[in-house]
Chain A
């Protein structure tokens, strides 16, 4: 055994050891984004929602105002050849869902917000879980998380009016030509008088994987079987859509058709701003039947994160960058509201 070192030789080696540890620590801090200039983070997106709409402890940080529902999905069997996911062949799959309006304010009037959403969880008998969050627009205005962040900033309420500055929005759309399809949809959109008569779109594309392992790029939509009726011009009830849903479900179940639209080679499968040609083949994968609604923000859906990347075997994500960003940001929202529930007892 060699003798221990002393004097300058020892000091030098201790310094080298210290430098090694410091370098590792600095690398860790860099990986964590504590040093350097990290790009857009999911935390910054959620911070911005809260900065604009206000801080509502315990609530989801977007689509904050909603209702839990439950029912089941009845597969038609037609999608079973395209995806090995059990939901497309099982006779009846239990469903937990949540209707919501867009935005981070849980007290906004239902009909003041053009964006409506339906998120569902399908739990098939092979133990697999599928969660999907869908909105009424068929496309987004942007193709990337950075574009989305710019859109959120441009839509910031003007302190003077409490509403987004039209000039800023116009400037945003002018500098984001990929928003053309979304603007066209928004200009022609006629809101219906009910969550029940609204179409909900996956927006992002996914990949169905069949039993042979082949991938089929797909978007899906829930198409209402309830006939369309236009939203009245004058509405005083801030809970208009919630009350309507409760009344309808008290009378009987509500149904949607799950329609899968298949891309063809060359279609933009990783760009949520670009629609696919209208003539693309689509199939009726089955019927969503919703039977029950819970009190606002109560029920089984409340403590779930409808992360769109919670997918069963037989469905995989596309390379759409917004899909990954949604997953990351939903997780931050879920962690924050769980923390608020713990530290402040805050519950919606």
Chain B
């Protein structure tokens, strides 16, 4: 049976990760141009949060595959339906790719990794260059996709008024509808 809303655990994960991912994007883009004493603190925070997000996204993907989730409104045009599917795939892909790229890039750059994690790529300067740039560009793409996702959620809630945002709402759900 298709539920009207996401499972409470899925909603909790969604909003926790939303906050962490937005913070990570702002920290990441800020720290690379910063040379103040804040710089090393931001880098440490970025690595630790990235690792936490990797664990969370694996849990999240597992839940997404295991739990039933609400369907999109029946009257949604085909193109928007496709866009919703594609943008969610992209979001999941980027959420998984970002921490893995970060980990691989530290490995390829010959840098130590948090918690002494093993290297997942060989120490190679050219490979590092590819991964470092991929991490940066994937970050910009993730931010753009997050904006699109937020914009679409707000259109659903404020313009279409179709209950899509409500299905992911962090608070208790009203049963009146």
Contact = CB atoms under 8 A, between A and B. Distances in A.
Interface in B13-61: 25-26, 29-30, 32-40, 43
A27 interface: yes
Contacts of A32: 29-30, 33
Contacts, number: 121
A13 interface: yes
B154 interface: yes
A17 B151 contact: yes
Contacts of B116: 127-128
A3 B161 contact: yes
Interface of B, helix, strand, loop or mixed by DSSP: helix
Interface in A1-52: 1-5, 10, 13-14, 16-18, 20-21, 24-25, 27-28, 31-33, 38-43, 45
Interface in B72-119: 109-112, 116
Contacts of A31: 26, 29-30
B121 to A, nearest CB: 13
A249 B26 CA distance: 49
A129 interface: yes
Contacts of B109: 305, 334, 338
Contact of B110 (A16, A25, A305): A305
Contact of A341 (B26, B110, B129): B129
A303 interface: yes
Interface string A269-310: 000000000000000000000000000000000011101011
Interface stretch (A84-92, A192-200, A258-266, A317-325): A317-325
B117 to A, nearest CB: 10
Q: Kindly name the residue among A3, A28, A310 whose own CB sees the greatest number of chain B CB atoms within 10 A.
A: A28
B160 interface: yes
Given A28-B25, A341-B129, A1 B161 contact: yes
A13 to B, nearest CB: 5
Given A5-B159, A129-B112, A305-B111, A338 B35 contact: no
A325 B33 CA distance: 10
* Closest 6 pairs (CB-CB, A-B): A342-B129, A328-B35, A338-B129, A325-B35, A32-B29, A2-B161
Interface of B: 25-26, 29-30, 32-40, 43, 109-112, 116, 123-126, 128-130, 132-133, 143, 147, 150-151, 154-155, 158-163, 177
